A and B are shown apart, each in its own frame.
Chain A
């Protein structure tokens, strides 16, 4: 009986023993709350980079949470200690991260590629004919049409460059206007022609990777940066759709928009003719003046 009592008391005695030694107490605490330090050697200064490809997706999820979302990491580790299944822990991690991120991951597998950027760039040459009937392109393609562009981007370089220049001129002419609808219209144009300066707005996912850019890392700095980019992109697209709705519901605005596109495009063509543009030279080598040269051709009506 005494042996049985000793056996029953052994965990208590052992924990008391560990508690009395600072190093053992620390080891016990780490095993309880931060076992990833022990299993992955994260405390070792030689442990420079986590190998996202070598680890299974749950290990990746725990690592990411340890680096950037310690509250989620703490909860996931406690779930592990309670014997929760892998799927339950994965779900907990995804939901926990979702509370912090503007674009939450849908699957732990995605975490290998860094924080998600919600790419919403529009590249006409990558569009399929069937895309034209689906939102949001069913609304946006008619606007491209006003610039002489269509899905597929088959127009000559000269037409595309002039359309881009026209859009830049219109955006510049709108910067002096204080009416909210003109801010929305500028956002619509910078989205359509990919010159907003925001990565998520200006690139499709394919274009981003093809350009060879590095993806963001799972660090507090990069997570905050990507969140800012995604938040700004969502606001930008929302604003652009407000402009679309305004163009559809305000005939005077739509008329001014069409007229300005036409006037500025004509002014650019005229400028090229007067400057004696050498058509024998490749289009990319022909100089374009600054957009400010043409802003006086764009006139916008007063709006509330």
Chain B
């Protein structure tokens, strides 16, 4: 059962999350060396469609997560010192 998590534990936890590998970022990365002319690469329509769909899903997931974070219950941190408080 989960009882507590200190800030270092949170840092350790988050740092172990692998980076999201988005097809759109990879396509841009791969095409960077071969791109000529326009800012964005020319990629087959199927790849574009897949990458766009993945990007939309990712954006929506991030927005949904952000929305959930708003409703987290506040936590009392008695040991945290805030020097500005007396001011």
Greatest chain B CB density within 10 A among A26, A37, A66, A77 is at A26
Q: How far is the CA of A43 from the CA of B45 in the complex (A)?
A: 24
Give the interface SS of chain A, mostly helix, strand, loop or mixed.
helix
Within 37-54 of A, Cβ neighbours of B (below 8 Å) are at 37, 42-45
Q: Which residue of B38, B49, B55, B67 is within 8 Å of A34 (Cβ)?
A: B55
A45 lies within 8 A of B70 (CB): yes
B79 to chain A, nearest CB (A): 31
A81 lies within 8 A of B52 (CB): no
A148 at the interface (CB under 8 A from B): no
A32 at the interface (CB under 8 A from B): yes
A77 lies within 8 A of B25 (CB): no
Q: Which residue of B29, B32, B63 is within 8 Å of A44 (Cβ)?
A: B63
Q: How far is the CA of A28 from the CA of B35 in the complex (A)?
A: 15
Residue tally, chain B, CB below 8 Å to A: 28
- Tell me how many residue pairs across A and B have CB atoms closer than 8 Å: 79
Residue tally, chain A, CB below 8 Å to B: 28
Residues of A within 8 A of B22 (CB): 26, 29
A301 to chain B, nearest CB (A): 56
Within 38-79 of B, Cβ neighbours of A (below 8 Å) are at 38-40, 45, 48-49, 51-53, 55-56, 59-60, 62-64, 66-67, 70
Q: List 14 A-B contacts (CB under 8 A).
A: A11-B39, A12-B35, A15-B32, A29-B22, A29-B25, A32-B24, A32-B40, A33-B24, A42-B63, A43-B62, A66-B56, A70-B56, A71-B52, A81-B38
Residues of A within 8 A of B (CB): 11-12, 15-16, 19, 22, 25-26, 28-30, 32-34, 37, 42-45, 66, 70-71, 73-75, 77-78, 81
